[in-house]
Structure 1
Amino acid sequence: MVVSGTVDEPVLGILDRVGHGVDLTDCGLYPPALQAAFAPLAEFIRRARLEPYRVPGPTTARARAGKSRKATAERGELKYVLVTISPDGELMVRFVMRSTEALARVRKHLPSLRSALPNLVVATVNVQPAHAAVLEGDREIVLTDSEALTMRLDGIPLRLRPQSFFQTNTEVAAGLYRQAREWVDDVGPAALWDLYCGVGGFALHCAAPGRSVTGIELSREAVAAASATADGLGLHDVRFEAGDARDVVGRLATEAPEMVIVNPPRRGIGAGLARALDESAVGHVLYSSCNATTLAADLSHMPRLRPVRGVLLDMFPQTQHYEVLLLLRRDV
C-alpha cells in the first residue's frame, strides 16, 4: 500500500494520476484478516508519527520552478506498507522508509502494534532512499524474532522472507503448484531444474523420490528460505543456487536435465535462454507466465519445443492479469 495523506490522517492505497492518495483499504478482494490489519496500521502510523512521503505531482512541479528539486521531493519518511498474510492467518508487515530517521519511534511503538495485531509475526523496516518508482531498497532491518513468514501450501511450509517473491493469490498459487506437480509426475524426469524459483514453490512441490531438483534464483534471501524448507522436509535431492537464471545457457549445453521449469517475471526468459533451451537436450519445459505477449515471443525462439498442455489461472481476480501454465515437449 502506498502511504499518502498526513501523519494524523494517513491514506493507505495508491496514488492517482496527479499524486493524490486513493484509499484501498476496503477492497473486496482482501481476505478479512488482511483487511482487518489496515486500521491498526493506520493508528500505528499516527502513534509513531511516521510522516508519509510526499510525491510531487504535476501542479507541485510547476509551482516549484526555481526551487531546489531535492528540498521539495524529499519530504516525509514512510513510502509504502507491504502486508502479507499466510494461509494460517499470520502477518508480515514491512515499512518502506526513506531513511532510518524514524526507526527508534517504530521500535518504541511496535509493541502497541503487536498488541493490536497478535497475528503479526514478522515486522521490518526497509530503507529505500531513492526518489524513484522503486518499491524497496537493499537494506532490511528485522524488528521481530522471526525473519520469515510460513506460507503453508498443500502441507509444504514455504518460508517467505522479506524481499522474496511469492505469488499474489495464495489459493490460486496452490492450484498452480498442484497442476505443475501433476504434469511433472506424468513426465517423470530424473533431473529437474526450476529457474526463477523464488522460495521454491515449484521445486519443492515437484520433488519426488529418485528425482534430483535444482532451483536457481537471483535473490539470496529467497534461496536461503527455500534451502531451509528443503532441509526441514528432509529433501536431500533438492538444492538451491543463488544466481541469474539466464546464466545457465552455457550449462544447458553440457549438463541439461530432462525437464526445466521457468517462472520468469513479466519480461519473460528472453531470446538467449529460449534459444539455449531449444537447442539443448531438455525434453520438456514447463513455462509459468503472467504475460502472454512475452510468452509468445519466447515461444517463437523455441520451435522444437511444442505446447502440448495449457491452463489459464485467474491469479488476479477482476483485473486483466492472469497466470498461464504451459507444458512444452520436444518435437522429435
Structure 2
Amino acid sequence: MGGHAPGREFDGLAAAARAALVRRIGASGAWDADPGWREAFEAVPRHLFVPYYYVGVAGGYERRWGESTDPGARERWLRGAYEDTPLATRLRDGELLSSSSQPSLMADMLAALGVEEGHTVLEIGAGTGYNAALLAHRLGDDKVTTVDLDPEITESARRHLAAAGYHPVVVTGDGARGVPERAPFDRIIATCALGGVPPAWVAQSRPGGRILVPLATGLIMLTVPGAGHAEGRFLHTPAYFVPLRGTGRPGGEAVQLGGVPRRAREDDSFRFLLALTRGSLDPQEAHALWEQEGRPQRERYGITVSGERQWAWLDDPEGPYAWPLPS
C-alpha cells in the first residue's frame, strides 16, 4: 500500500455512506422478498472491493483511486464507492472488461435466489469479490465458491475478500464448466451475461436447486427438478451485464431495425424480445409478435433446458411461441 492508504481517516464517512446506500436499496423494495440481506449489505464494506474504479467523463473515463495524494480525490473515490451505480473496474483499450454491479440490482438478485442456512452457492464471475463477500457473510465462507476465467481478477478478488475478512473458495477457471469438484450446489448465480444456460450448471445443481442467470437483458430464474432438466421464468427486472469471457459476446453484430416503428425500437420490452429471439426471428417478425401479444413484459417469458436442448418461450413451454437457445 502507498503512503495514502484510506485507513481510519475515512471510517466514519464510509459507515455513513454505507448506511445511506442501505437505506436507498431498502426503499427500492429489493429486500422485501428476503430481509436477511439487509444485514449483509450493512456489514460488508464495498470500498474495500473497489480500491480504484473508472467513471465516464466527456471523451472517455477518469480513474478514481483510494490512494490518491489529494484528500478531496480520496473522498470522491469513497463517496462514489457507495453510490447505487455499477462501477467500471477493468478497462482495456476503452472496452469494459469487468465491473462491480449496481448494489440494488445485486440485492434484487440475491433476494430472488432464496438462500437458506446451510445452502451451498456457486457464483459465476468473481468480479471484485463484493458479491461473494455478501454471500459469505450470509452463509459462511465454506458454503460459497466463486469462479472467474481471468487469474488477475481472481487474485484481486481474493485480496479484497481477505482485506474485508472473508475467505470463500475462489477458483480460476472457465465459469461455463462450473466447478465440479465443489458440486453439487443448492444455488448458482451468474454475474455476467450469457446467450444460453451451460449444461454443466444444471448437472452441478442439487434437485430442487435454483440457477439465476442474466440473459437477453433480463434475469432468468430456473428451478432444477432433477438430472438434466431445468425450467423457469424471467424476473421483471431489467439487467445488463458484461458477457461471460470465453463465450463470445451474446448477440454479435448490431441488428438492422429498418421498418420497426421508433416507439417499439425505444421500448425496453421490445428490445428484450429482440435479444431473446436473436437468430430465430428477424426484427419485423419480432415486432409483429410483440404487438399481437399485447407488448409482453419479461415475466411472461421463460426458458426450458432438457438434456442437450434448451429453448425460450412466451407464456407456455409447450405453447406456439418457442425459440431455440445455444447451450
TM-score (norm 1): 0.41
Structure with the larger helix share: 2
- Bigger CA radius of gyration: 1
More relative contact order in 1 or in 2 (CA 8 Å, sep 6+)?
Answer: 2
